[in-house]
Each structure stands twice: as structure tokens, then as C-alpha cells.
Amino acid sequence: MPKRTILLALLVAGVATLGFVWIVRTGQEGGQRAAVGQAAPAVVGTTLDGSTFDLASFAGKPVVINFWGPSCVPCRDEFPLLEAKVAEHAADGLTVVGVLTDDPVDPARSFVSQYGGTWPTVIDPDKSIKTAYRVAARPQTYFVDGSGVIRAIQVGELTDADFERSFAKIHS
């Protein structure tokens, strides 16, 4: 392989590594960061229907925080599962909260309306919630217990088994 190609490949790998480290560390010094066993960072904002939202108002209840967007195919695919779990675990006090990230508001409103989403979706226009939760990809889901501690994180589309395994960690 020519020396120039090798140097270019090393440069690309180095930039990719630095980018990954930057994504993981961004905001770490300035604010609370999401991790299993740690308190969930604040989720405060306006929902798709214009209501104000504060995660703190759900203290004492198990909460599933789902980062999504309508352009994300796995997000769309897992939406019916989340709907089913909200109904299945209603007696357990389960709350699902969506956080819209990386997509415009209007398509998200249309999607939720079309598919009957009943839980609040908080708009994250400056990506501050996404940054605090260290979201690497959509969908990404956090399972938060009644004391506000993250007990499980799922990167990628949830399956029924994934949901139940993680929900068991936040349901007392």
C-alpha cells in the first residue's frame, strides 16, 4: 500500500477517535451526566403539545426516557412496543417520556398524532438534554427508578425482552 494511503488512513482514524472522545466528554465538566447508578439529569422543557414538562414532577414513579425522532426507522419501529408497555404497566405507575432530538417538530407532531402516542415528548432544540444524557444514537432509552436514579440504558431499538429486563430494575 502506498505510504500516502497509509498516512491518510491514520489521519482519518485519529480524527474519528478524537471525535468520539469529544462526544463522550462534551459537557462533562459543566453539568450532570447520565450513567447507570447516577441521578438522571434534568429533563425540562416544552412538549410537542405546548405544555411545560419537568421530569422532577414524576418523582416516586418509574420513568422510561426515550430519545427519538420520526426520521429514525428503529424509533418508528419501537413506537408500538412503547404504546403497549404504557398500557401493560399502567397499574405500576409507569411513565414514558419522549425527547425529540435531531428532527423538526412538525413531523414529530404528525407522527405522534397518526400513531396515537399518549406520553409527553419534550422538544430539545439546543440538544442540551441529548448532551446531558450522552445520547450516541437514536433510539436510546433510559430506565429511571422512583428515586430518580438511572438503572438501565438501552442503545438501539427495544425488544419486549429488553424492556421487561430493564423495567424490572426500576419497578419495586
Q: The domain that contains 108 carries what CATH number?
A: 3.40.30.10
Q: Break the chain down into helix, strand, coil percent, rounded to 5.
A: 40, 20, 40
For 90-144, write each residue's pLDDT tens digit. 999 999 999 999 999 999 999 999 988 899 999 999 999 999 999 999 999 999 9
Count: domains in the chain: 2
- Do 15 and 44 lie in a common domain? no
pTM of the model: 0.82
d(CA 43, CA 53): 8
Same domain? 104 vs 136 = yes
- Range of the structural domain that residue 23 is part of: 1-30
Residue 166: CB atoms within 10 A of its CB come to 19
Average pLDDT, the chain: 88
For residues 153 and 74, the answer to whether their CB atoms sit within 8 Å is no
Q: Are residues 59 and 113 in the same domain?
A: yes
